[in-house]
Chains A and B, each alone.
Chain A
């Protein structure tokens, strides 16, 4: 459904992504793990056109083109068919929880207002925040904000939702509620690509784990294989280091 080939990205002479190829199928829940600075976040941001790639090809939602040759229409198509959950939530500060969700529906999708509100209420119900619909982001906890962020993404019913370290800005006690929502989503068949440091999520929820380091995909496979029997030395070392700290 989504295919990325040879994706490259560099900043000021530093190569961040050195040729990444990924294939996402419908219903996949993919976890991307790896040390910080390995390019995980940049990968999501280049795929979703938040940042321009320096090379590579995307096949997605009828678009089949080199990243650098994407025209405005194709960029719009990509953006309309992905959902994005940000590390810092990035809720619209001047909109209530409900308006955060309806905004994209009404303005970008041209859905009628009351229809949009119905969709938004359903999305809020899925993340368990119906009673907070008229709260502004500043009146919500971090965990609640992130759940609204997820509701905002699912309300648009995208082909795939990208999660950029959705729990790393949260206080530890708030991580659970967000992970639970993500788990429910995964179980309901939503296609998800998740950059995460939550190894429990990667191991228990996803059906594929990608380990990235230094701008390359070092290894990928089923979670059981990656966690219990990694074939690469780097993967082994990363997992030992990170699990030692848990």
Chain B
């Protein structure tokens, strides 16, 4: 068995053009879904009438169906929908917008659950203390509760981001020219599929580890208040999604 290394170098050079596309999809989806996720989590926690059921339904639906099904639905339904609304021919739309839509919808569901559990980890004593120094509930929420919840959500936001990066590898189905799509096209010429996918794999590993390091630095920077002065935790090289953010023991 031998791999065609020349070809691998060539794929590596071409597929790198797909990296910005992948990152773009991930960033757009993340930036839109973060605030909406917080909003939806609040709707769930405060049981906003009517809306809370809707959010619950939405989260369950997205969480319970494969991303591929979501891609196929959006990709087949949106063109005609757009046609109806703006009368613009669907062909003229850059397929990356479909990717934005699918992955944003998907991330909103994940992040809603992330923020819901993060907000619930904040002790209710924090709100009471805020009220007892004369602050309004809303002020206490913005200044005390939300900052703590966001920081305790960081590990799970990192997980959601990794999940998003990995899922974005399916954007090629919507003919978005991302890493996977480029490698696939290259490989098709000579049937060097294994080589192409090994290169793609390495790219995803690099992107995922990069994201993990960024989140680790965020966490370090923002959670200074959670660290006892001496005990610093090192970078967790083998983190996993099932770990709940550690709470302070009081």
Asked whether the complex places CB atoms of A and B closer than 8 A, the reply is: yes
- Name the A residues within 8 Å of B126 (CB-CB): 90, 92-93
- Check A103 for interface membership: any CB of B closer than 8 A: yes
Is B132 touching A103 in the complex (CB atoms < 8 A)? no
Is A94 touching B132 in the complex (CB atoms < 8 A)? no
- Check A139 for interface membership: any CB of B closer than 8 A: yes
- Name the B residues within 8 Å of A139 (CB-CB): 227-229
B residues 129-155 touching A (CB-CB < 8 Å): 129-136, 139, 143-144, 147-148, 151
Instruction: Specify the chain B residue showing the minimal Cβ separation from A169.
Output: B250
- Check A104 for interface membership: any CB of B closer than 8 A: yes
Is A90 touching B128 in the complex (CB atoms < 8 A)? yes
- Check A136 for interface membership: any CB of B closer than 8 A: yes
- Check A9 for interface membership: any CB of B closer than 8 A: no
A residues 36-69 touching B (CB-CB < 8 Å): 48-50
Closest-CB distance, B128 to chain A (whole angstroms) = 6
Closest-CB distance, A231 to chain B (whole angstroms) = 35
Pick from A75-83, A122-130, A178-186, A235-243 the stretch touching chain B: A75-83
Q: Which of B134, B139, B147, B227 has a CB less than 8 Å from the CB of A94?
A: B147
- Check B238 for interface membership: any CB of A closer than 8 A: no
Is A104 touching B228 in the complex (CB atoms < 8 A)? no
Main secondary structure of the interface of B (DSSP, over half): helix
Closest-CB distance, B23 to chain A (whole angstroms) = 31
A residues 70-114 touching B (CB-CB < 8 Å): 76, 79-80, 82-84, 86, 88-96, 103-104, 107-109
- Name the A residues within 8 Å of B125 (CB-CB): 86, 88, 90
- Name the A residues within 8 Å of B49 (CB-CB): none
Q: Which of B134, B225, B228, B229 has a CB less than 8 Å from the CB of A79?
A: B134
- Check B6 for interface membership: any CB of A closer than 8 A: no
Q: Which of A76, A83, A86, A136 has a CB less than 8 Å from the CB of B128?
A: A86
Is B123 touching A136 in the complex (CB atoms < 8 A)? no
Is B134 touching A136 in the complex (CB atoms < 8 A)? no
Given contact pairs A94-B147, A94-B225, A109 touches B128 in the complex (Cβ within 8 A): no
Closest-CB distance, A52 to chain B (whole angstroms) = 13
- Name the B residues within 8 Å of A169 (CB-CB): 250
Is A104 touching B135 in the complex (CB atoms < 8 A)? yes
Is B139 touching A79 in the complex (CB atoms < 8 A)? no
Identify which of A48, A92, A108 gathers the most chain B CB atoms within 10 Å of its CB. A92
Question: What separation, in Å, do the CA atoms of A100 and B213 have in the docked complex?
Answer: 31
Closest-CB distance, A144 to chain B (whole angstroms) = 13
- Check B224 for interface membership: any CB of A closer than 8 A: yes
- Name the A residues within 8 Å of B250 (CB-CB): 88-89, 169
Closest-CB distance, A86 to chain B (whole angstroms) = 6
Q: Which of A89, A93, A109 has a CB less than 8 Å from the CB of B134?
A: A109
Identify which of B129, B130, B133, B250 gathers the most chain A CB atoms within 10 Å of its CB. B133
Is A90 touching B131 in the complex (CB atoms < 8 A)? no
Question: B64-86 CB contact bits vs A (8 Å, 1 = yes)?
Answer: 00000000000000000000000
Identify which of A88, A107, A109 gathers the most chain B CB atoms within 10 Å of its CB. A107
Question: What separation, in Å, do the CA atoms of A83 and B128 have in the docked complex?
Answer: 12
Closest-CB distance, B117 to chain A (whole angstroms) = 17
Question: What separation, in Å, do the CA atoms of A167 and B131 have in the docked complex?
Answer: 22
Closest-CB distance, A79 to chain B (whole angstroms) = 6
Question: What separation, in Å, do the CA atoms of A82 and B147 have in the docked complex?
Answer: 26
Question: What separation, in Å, do the CA atoms of A172 and B41 have in the docked complex?
Answer: 41
Is B123 touching A108 in the complex (CB atoms < 8 A)? no
Which 5 A-B pairs give the minimum distances between C-beta atoms?
A104-B133, A108-B134, A90-B125, A84-B132, A136-B225
12 further contact pairs, Cβ within 8 A, besides A79-B132, A139-B227, A139-B228: A76-B136, A82-B132, A89-B250, A90-B126, A90-B129, A93-B126, A95-B225, A103-B133, A104-B134, A107-B135, A107-B139, A138-B248
Give the B-binding residues of A (Cβ under 8 A): 48-50, 76, 79-80, 82-84, 86, 88-96, 103-104, 107-109, 135-139, 152-153, 156, 169
Provide a sorted-by-A list of 28 A–B residue pairs whose CB atoms are within 8 angstroms. A48-B132, A50-B128, A79-B131, A84-B128, A86-B129, A88-B123, A88-B125, A89-B250, A90-B123, A90-B128, A90-B129, A92-B126, A93-B148, A93-B248, A94-B147, A94-B151, A96-B225, A103-B130, A103-B133, A103-B135, A104-B134, A104-B135, A107-B135, A136-B225, A138-B248, A139-B228, A152-B129, A156-B134
Give the A-binding residues of B (Cβ under 8 A): 123, 125-126, 128-136, 139, 143-144, 147-148, 151, 224-229, 248, 250
